[in-house]
A and B are shown apart, each in its own frame.
Chain A
Amino acid sequence: MEAVINMVLLTLLVVVTLGVVRLRNLFAVVILGSIYSFLMASVFIVLDAVDVAMTEASVGAGISTVLMLTVLSMTRVEEAKPAHSPLLPLFVASATAAILIYGTWDLPGFGLAQTPVNTHVGAAYLERSIADTGVPNVVTSVLASYRGFDTLGETAVVFTAGIGVLLLLRRGRSRARLKKRQEERT
């Protein structure tokens, strides 16, 4: 069943991506982008990568939609016709993809026990995390307990970024108010 869900979701991802490439209206592209994020987050959930799914949903569907819209309010809605032939970028992208796919051939099998990832500290975390922290999810225990200070720093960074975005969004408003006030005066 999980395989079926995965196949359907990944197929839908491809379809949505083709839609994004084809459409020239940038609003539609932003909306399709948020749909893409929700589908991708569902894929992550099915793959049991809960924390990545959370990030994908909040960053992809939440913040980037808002940021893209802010950008759109400063530019035009229709995508401009490309000035150059798309052949060279297409070639570069295809070549990069080919190299990456060639690189995956040398990767060890998924979840193999002898890989470097699983032979060093990973096993120790898996063994001790319940006894050390009492958190049922190992990823969460690493993020919130073993690397608690690291996560605290990250949270501070994200918080600062949030404040920055809010300030940027407010700037337009105060400028509009200023204009209105000047008009009232004259």
Chain B
Amino acid sequence: MFAAAALALLVALILLVVRALKGPTVFDRLVAANSIGTEAILLLAVVGFLTGRPEFLDIGITYALLNLIGTLAVLKYFRFGDLSQSGGEEPEN
């Protein structure tokens, strides 16, 4: 049953990579990248069960947090132009 779930995840992964390559906007790519992060976490968990060693889920936790940080960093860049602004500040000019 985990094999079937893994297959479904792989199909979804392929579709998402297609979107990431097609764009057309940077934000489309980001949506795809964010989803690929989620997919990678779930794939990791499923593969763990598939091989009978589900102990490595800590990495899934790390991935989930990193995925958020990566996405927010890119978005913050688009919002403020660089990463040094804190969220509360209004952009200059």
Asked if chains A and B are in direct contact (CB within 8 A), the reply is yes
Residues of A whose CB lies within 8 Å of any CB of B are 1-2, 4-5, 8-9, 12, 15-16, 19, 25, 27-28, 30-32, 34-35, 38-39, 41-42, 45-46, 48, 50, 53-54, 57-58, 61-62, 65-66, 69-70, 72-73, 136, 169-173, 176, 179-180
**Once the chains are docked, how many angstroms separate the CA of A39 from the CA of B35?**
12
Residues on A with beta carbons closer than 8 Å to the beta carbon of B40 = 38-39, 41-42
Please, how many angstroms separate the alpha-carbon atoms of A171 and B51 in the complex? 48
Give the residue name and chain of the A residue nearest to B78 (CB).
Answer: A27
Q: Is the interface of B mostly helix, strand, loop or mixed?
A: helix
- In the assembled complex, the Cα of A180 lies from the Cα of B37 at a distance in Å of 39
Q: How many angstroms between the C-alpha atoms of A39 and B44 in the bound complex?
A: 11
- Contact (Cβ within 8 A) A19 B82: no
> Which residues of B are in contact with A by a Cβ distance under 8 Å?
3, 6-7, 10, 13-14, 17, 20-21, 23, 26, 29-30, 32-33, 36-37, 40, 43-44, 47, 50-51, 55-56, 59, 62-63, 66-67, 69-70, 73-74, 77, 81-86, 92
What are 25 A-B contacts defined by CB distance under 8 Å? A1-B6, A5-B10, A12-B17, A16-B17, A30-B74, A31-B29, A31-B74, A32-B20, A34-B33, A35-B17, A35-B36, A38-B36, A42-B43, A42-B44, A45-B59, A50-B56, A54-B62, A57-B62, A61-B37, A61-B67, A69-B83, A73-B82, A170-B84, A173-B86, A176-B84
